[in-house]
Structure 1
Amino acid sequence: MNMLKPALLASALALPLAGTAALADTPDDVLVIAQNIDDIVAIDPAQAYEFTSGELVTNLYDRLVQYDAEDPTVLAPGIATEWEVDAEAKTIAFTLRDDAVFNSGNPVTAEDVLFSLSRVIKLNLTPAFILAQLGWTPENVDDMITADGNVVTVKYEGDFSPAFVLNVLAARPASIVDKALVMENEQDGDMGNAWLNANSAGSGPFALTGYTPGQMVRMAANEDYFKGAPAMTQVIIRHVPESATQQLLLEQGDIDMARNLTPDQVASLSADDVKVETFPQAAVHFLSFNQKTESLTDPAVWEAARYLVDYTGMTDTIIKGQMEVHQAFWPKGFPGSYDETPFTYDPEKAMQILEDAGVETPIEVTLDVINAAPFTDMAQSLQASFAEAGIDFEILPGTGAQVITKYRERTHEAMLLYWGPDFMDPHSNAKAFAYNPDNSDENYQATTTWRNAWAVPDEMNEETMAALSESDPEARLDMYRDLQAKVQESSPIVIMFQASYEVAMGADVSGYVNGATSDFVYYRLVEKE
C-alpha cells in the first residue's frame, strides 16, 4: 500500500488556506472528510457512546449479526453465518464464519467472541447496560455465553423475543475484538481499554492507523475483509468544526465530503461538481403535554393539537432539509415503522374539536424549548399556529441541561424535544412512548410517558410487553405498528417530525451509506468515478 500520497495529503490539509488558492484534488483511492469530531470520548467498543465514536466502531469492527452497508434496514450475518433460536430454552446458537480475519492477521474465533461480550459486562462502562438487558452480570456472563467448536451459544434471561435479543447483539458494544492483541496491551487489569481508545483490534472493513483527538482520524482498508476489500484504501476524517471552512474545502476540491453544513450553506452550494444527499435519521421530534397540568388532560386537547402543527410550513422553511414529517414513534426506514401521516395543519378542525368537547379557551401554557436553532424557530411556529385555536404558548428557552432536567422532574407544562433509540429494536422506543404501568412520582423512568405523567392505559402497557416477548418476527412488528397507531391517535405526545441529515460530497463520490443512526455510517462501498 502506498502510504506516501495520503500522508502528504493529510499534511496539506493541515495547512491554513491562503486566499482562494486550491490545493491538489484528493487521490482517487482516498476518501477525505471534513467533520466535527470533537464529541469523541472513547473508541473502545466497550466504552464508546458518542455519535462519531459509533461511526468509527461500525467501520472498524464486526458483530455476530449486524446491519450492514448493502441495506442498513436488514439484520444480516456478520461474524456468524447462521443462527438457531430456541425460544423455550432462551438460547441462540451462532455458527461462526471461517473466513473472518482480524486486521492483525489473527483469525476470528469463538474465544474472541466470548471474550468480547463478557469483557463489556466485566468492564461495566457506559454502554454495558445494552447487553446487561439480557440478564448478564459479571458473575454469570461466562456461563451465559459458551462455545463448542465454532458454535457460540448465547443464553438470556427475561421474557424476550429472540428478535429483541438479536437486535441487542447487533448493537455497538457487541462488537468483536481481537483477544490476543487486546490482552497484549492490557494495563493494570483494564482489559486493553486504554489501548483500544487510541487503536483498533477489529475484523471490520477498515483498521485505525492514526488517531489524534480533536484533529484527525485515519483508517486503512482491510484487504482481507470477508465481504471484499473496500475501494478506498484509506479514509481520512479531518476535524473541521467550522461549517464555512468545510464548505470552502469542498468547493475547492480539497475534501470529498462535508458532514456538517447548515441548511443555508447547502442551499448556497453552486459548484457543478458538488452534490447533496439526504438521509433520514432515527430521532423523532415531538410536542408533549404534562398531565400534571389540569388544562392539558382532556384528550380533546391532544387531538386538536395534532391539527395545530404547521407540518409543511416548517419543513418547507425553518427545518428544510433537517426534518421530514413523521407522526409515529419508531423511525421510518426500519422494520416495524408506521409511516402513516394522517394529520395536517387545520386550525378550523382543531377549534371544532375543542368546541365539541366543551373545552374552554384560551388555554395558557408554558412551552420549554432548547435555546438553539432550529428549536426556538419551531417553538415560535407552534406559538403562532396554536394561537389560532386559543392555545397560547409562553416560550421558555433554556440550555439543553436545563430543559432536560425540568423534563425529568416533571415540572414543565408543554415540552418541545426529540428522542432517539439506544439500539435499533422497536421496543427501545415503544417503552418510551407506549409504556408506563406505574405513574407515581417515586417511580422515575427515562421515558416520555412517565416524564409527561401519562398513565398509559393497561391495554397498551400489556401490548408493549407482549410485543417484547412475541416470538413470531412479523407478528411482533405488526404489534409495534399497532402501538404506534394508538399513540398517534390518542396520547399527550404529538410526534411531528423525523430528523434528516444532509451530506455534501463531490459529484464523483458514490456508495456512501448513512443509516438512521451514527452506528450505520458506512464507507466500505464508497467509490470515486
Structure 2
Amino acid sequence: MKTLRSALLASVLALPLAAPAMAETPPNLLVVAQNIDDIVAIDPAQAYEFTSGELVTNIYDRLVQYDAEDPTVLAAGLASDWETDAEAKTVTFTLRDGATFHSGNPVRPEDVTGSLARVIKLDLTPAFILAQLGWTPENVDEMITAEGNTITVKYDGDFSPAFVLNVLASRPASIVDMETVMANEVDGDMGNGWLNENSAGSGPFELQTFRPAELVRLKANPDYFKGAPAMEGVILQHVAEAATQQLLLEQGDVDMARNLTPDQIAGIDSDEIKVEAFPQAAVHFLSFNQKNDALTDPAVWEAARYLVDYSGMVDSFLAGQMEIHQAFWPKGFPGALEDTPYSYDPEKAEQILEEAGVELPITVELDVINAAPFTDMAQSLQASFADAGINFEILPGTGAQVITKYRERTHAAMLLYWGPDFMDPHSNAKAFAYNSDNSDENYQATTTWRNAWAVPDELNEKTMAALSEPDADARLDQYIELQQAVQEESPIVIMFQAAYQVAMDDDVSGYVNGATSDFVFYRLVEKD
C-alpha cells in the first residue's frame, strides 16, 4: 500500500497543480483508481480496448460526435454543420472555425481527410468500421476530399445518412493533427508507433503521461471549443485489485473507484461515498440452436419468455449488475425499445406448450461461461424452466470454449451476451434480425446465423430497408418494429442489459458514463 500511495503522490506532484495532503485529493484534479492494463494501443486508428476508448474520446474530436451533455444525441464536433445527399451518396461537412489541436496547430480540412484515409491505409483492427462505407486504400483519397473549409465524404452502399453519420462518429473516425503525426512517422508507419505513446488531438484533454499498466495523466485543454474542463487534470491510476481500489477510496486517496465488485458496492458504509449506476451496451440472452429439432417449435420460444425469472435474478445476485431489458438494442441508445412485456409465469408457459402439442419433457444442454454471474444465471434458468418440463443440463466452459462452440453451431442452448461495435442500431439489427443465407458454409458473426435461425424473408427485408431509410426519425421507428418482431417471435430470448456501478466521493459531480467505453466523459466533472 505504501508503494501505491507513493506512486499516486508522485503522480499528483508531477502536475502543475495545487496539492494538499494526500488524504484529500486536490480540488482541481480528479484521481481515479481503475484497472487499465487492457490497453494495447491508444492511436485512434488502432485502439480497440475499453480503456483505450475512454482515452480516445477525451483526447480527440470527430466531425460529429456523441458528447457529455447527452450521450444519446449526435452533435456537432469539428464540423459546425453538414448536409447529406442520399441519392448522390455524399455528406458535405463545414469545418468549425477556430478549432485547434493541442500543439497549437489549427484543425484543417487536410487533417480530416488525412486522418480518415490513414485509418483505411493502416488497416488495423477498427478499420472495418470505416471500411463499411466502401472505402479501400486504393479509393479512399477520392472518396474523402476537401475544398476550402468543406469536406465531402462519399460512400458506396445503400445506407441511410444516419448510418453514415454514426460510422463517422465512431472511435476510428477521430481527427488527428496530421502535421504532428507525420513528422513522427517511422518506416512508413504513418506515426502509429509515436501515437501509441503520445497524443495529437483537439479534445478537452491532452495526454500528458502514459505509462502502460501503471498511469495515465490527462491535462485539460484550456482552449477547447466547448470550453475548458472544470478539472485541470485527470489521473487514471492502475489499481488491479478491487479491494485496494475500495480502500483508497475510503481513505480519500482517490476520488473514484471504477472496478468494485457488487459485494464491495453493497458493503460500502460511508456517507462520504456515493454509487452511481450506468446502463451498458451489452444485452444478455438465452438462445436455442435451430439445428436441434426439439427447439424449433415457436411455442418453445414463446414459452421460454415466460420461464425466465427476470425479477428474481435482478433483485438478488444480479442486483446492480443488470436490469431487465428485452430488446436487442440497448437502452441509452436512440431507437431502443424499452418495453418489457414478459415476466415469470410458468402457468402461462405450460398452457402455451400444451396448446401447441409440444412433447414434454425436453432435455437441453445449456452452454455457459464458467464464471459469475453466468453460472448463477444458468442455475436460475435451470430451476425455472424445469417447472414447465424443459430440463437444462448446464455445461460450463471457458469463454473461449463457449464462444468457439457457438461459432461452430454445435450447441443446443446458449447463455451469452452481445454488444454493438458502434452506435448505430444496424450494428445489432444485423446480429438479431437478419440472416439471408443460413447455410453452414456462409459463416456470419451474428446470433441469428450462429443459432441456425433462417430469419423470415420479411424480417430480412425490413432490416435492410431500415439500413437505407433516409429519414432519421422514420428509420428509428423501423428499428423499434424490428425489435418488437424479434422480441415476440425468435429463438433468442433477450433478458437483461448490463449495468455498471461506479463508486465515487460524494463531492464529485458531472461524471458521465454512457453505454460504452466510448462514452466516458470527464469534461463536465466538478468537485464541490
Q: Give the TM bin, normalised by the shorter chain.
A: over 0.9
* Counterpart Cα distance in 2 of 1:512 and 1:181: 31
Q: CA deviation at 1:170?
A: 0.2
Matched, 1:142 2:141: yes
**Cα contact 2:407–2:445 (8 A) shared by 1:** yes
**Cα contact 2:198–2:207 (8 A) shared by 1:** yes
**Cα contact 2:8–2:237 (8 A) shared by 1:** no
Aligned-residue identity in percent: 78
**Cα contact 1:144–1:154 (8 A) shared by 2:** yes
Q: CA deviation at 1:12?
A: 7.2
Q: CA deviation at 1:220?
A: 0.2
* Counterpart Cα distance in 2 of 1:240 and 1:384: 38
Identify the residue that residue 328 of structure 1 maps to in structure 2.
Answer: 327
Identify the residue that residue 114 of structure 2 maps to in structure 1.
Answer: 115
Identify the residue that residue 527 of structure 1 maps to in structure 2.
Answer: 526
The 3-state SS of whatever aligns with 1:195 is helix
* Counterpart Cα distance in 1 of 2:12 and 2:221: 24
Identify the residue that residue 76 of structure 2 maps to in structure 1.
Answer: 77
Structure 2, unpaired ranges of 5+? 14-20
Matched, 1:198 2:176: no
Residue deviations 1:194-246 (CA, integer Å, cap 9, x gap): 01111100000001010111100000000100000001111000010110100
* Counterpart Cα distance in 2 of 1:390 and 1:105: 68
In structure 2, the CA distance between the partners of 1:490 and 1:423, relative to structure 1 (3 Å rule), is same
Identify the residue that residue 168 of structure 1 maps to in structure 2.
Answer: 167
- Aligned residue identity for 1:474: D
The 3-state SS of whatever aligns with 1:95 is strand
Residue deviations 1:7-45 (CA, integer Å, cap 9, x gap): 98542789xxxxxxx943100000000011111100000
**Cα contact 1:309–1:386 (8 A) shared by 2:** yes
In structure 2, the CA distance between the partners of 1:219 and 1:7, relative to structure 1 (3 Å rule), is farther
**Cα contact 1:186–1:195 (8 A) shared by 2:** yes
* Counterpart Cα distance in 1 of 2:143 and 2:351: 58
In structure 2, the CA distance between the partners of 1:294 and 1:204, relative to structure 1 (3 Å rule), is same
Q: Any residues of structure 2 matched to 1:26-41 within 5 Å, and which? A: 26-41=25-40
The 3-state SS of whatever aligns with 2:259 is coil
* Counterpart Cα distance in 2 of 1:489 and 1:248: 46
Q: Size of the alignment, in residue pairs?
A: 517
Identify the residue that residue 18 of structure 1 maps to in structure 2.
Answer: none
- Aligned residue identity for 1:135: G
Identify the residue that residue 64 of structure 1 maps to in structure 2.
Answer: 63
Identify the residue that residue 245 of structure 2 maps to in structure 1.
Answer: 246
Residue deviations 1:385-412 (CA, integer Å, cap 9, x gap): 0011010001101111000000000000
Residue deviations 1:227-286 (CA, integer Å, cap 9, x gap): 000011110000101101000100111000000001111111111110000000111000
Q: CA deviation at 1:375?
A: 0.5
* Counterpart Cα distance in 2 of 1:13 and 1:367: 50
Identify the residue that residue 462 of structure 1 maps to in structure 2.
Answer: 461
The 3-state SS of whatever aligns with 1:295 is helix
Identify the residue that residue 481 of structure 1 maps to in structure 2.
Answer: 480
**Cα contact 1:131–1:168 (8 A) shared by 2:** yes
Identify the residue that residue 517 of structure 1 maps to in structure 2.
Answer: 516
Identify the residue that residue 185 of structure 1 maps to in structure 2.
Answer: 184
Identify the residue that residue 17 of structure 1 maps to in structure 2.
Answer: none
Matched, 1:374 2:373: yes
Q: CA deviation at 1:99?
A: 1.9
The CA RMSD over aligned residues, in Å, is 1.3
- Aligned residue identity for 2:275: V
* Counterpart Cα distance in 2 of 1:311 and 1:442: 36
**Cα contact 1:9–1:26 (8 A) shared by 2:** no
Residue deviations 1:97-148 (CA, integer Å, cap 9, x gap): 0121100110101010010000000000000000000000000000000001
- Aligned residue identity for 1:83: W
**Cα contact 1:431–1:464 (8 A) shared by 2:** yes
Residue deviations 1:272-317 (CA, integer Å, cap 9, x gap): 1100000001110000000000000000000000000000000011
Q: Any residues of structure 2 matched to 1:85-124 within 5 Å, and which? A: 85-124=84-123
**Cα contact 2:328–2:483 (8 A) shared by 1:** yes
* Counterpart Cα distance in 1 of 2:255 and 2:22: 13
Which aligned runs of 4 or more in structure 1 are off by greater than 6 angstroms? Answer: none
**Cα contact 1:369–1:395 (8 A) shared by 2:** yes
Residue deviations 1:445-478 (CA, integer Å, cap 9, x gap): 0000000000000000000000000001111000
Identify the residue that residue 425 of structure 1 maps to in structure 2.
Answer: 424
Identify the residue that residue 266 of structure 1 maps to in structure 2.
Answer: 265
Q: Any residues of structure 2 matched to 1:298-317 within 5 Å, and which? A: 298-317=297-316
Identify the residue that residue 212 of structure 1 maps to in structure 2.
Answer: 211
* Counterpart Cα distance in 2 of 1:38 and 1:8: 16
Identify the residue that residue 490 of structure 1 maps to in structure 2.
Answer: 489
The 3-state SS of whatever aligns with 1:224 is coil
The 3-state SS of whatever aligns with 2:266 is helix
The 3-state SS of whatever aligns with 1:164 is helix
* Counterpart Cα distance in 2 of 1:8 and 1:411: 49
- Aligned residue identity for 1:242: E
**Cα contact 2:144–2:152 (8 A) shared by 1:** yes
Structure 1, unpaired ranges of 5+? 1-5, 15-21
The 3-state SS of whatever aligns with 1:142 is helix
**Cα contact 1:514–1:520 (8 A) shared by 2:** yes
* Counterpart Cα distance in 2 of 1:195 and 1:375: 40
**Cα contact 1:65–1:75 (8 A) shared by 2:** yes
Q: CA deviation at 1:318?
A: 1.0
Identify the residue that residue 17 of structure 2 maps to in structure 1.
Answer: none
Residue deviations 1:166-217 (CA, integer Å, cap 9, x gap): 0000000000000011011111100000011111000000010101111000
* Counterpart Cα distance in 1 of 2:255 and 2:170: 29
* Counterpart Cα distance in 2 of 1:294 and 1:310: 25
* Counterpart Cα distance in 2 of 1:436 and 1:369: 24
* Counterpart Cα distance in 1 of 2:510 and 2:23: 23
* Counterpart Cα distance in 2 of 1:12 and 1:161: 47
- Aligned residue identity for 1:489: E
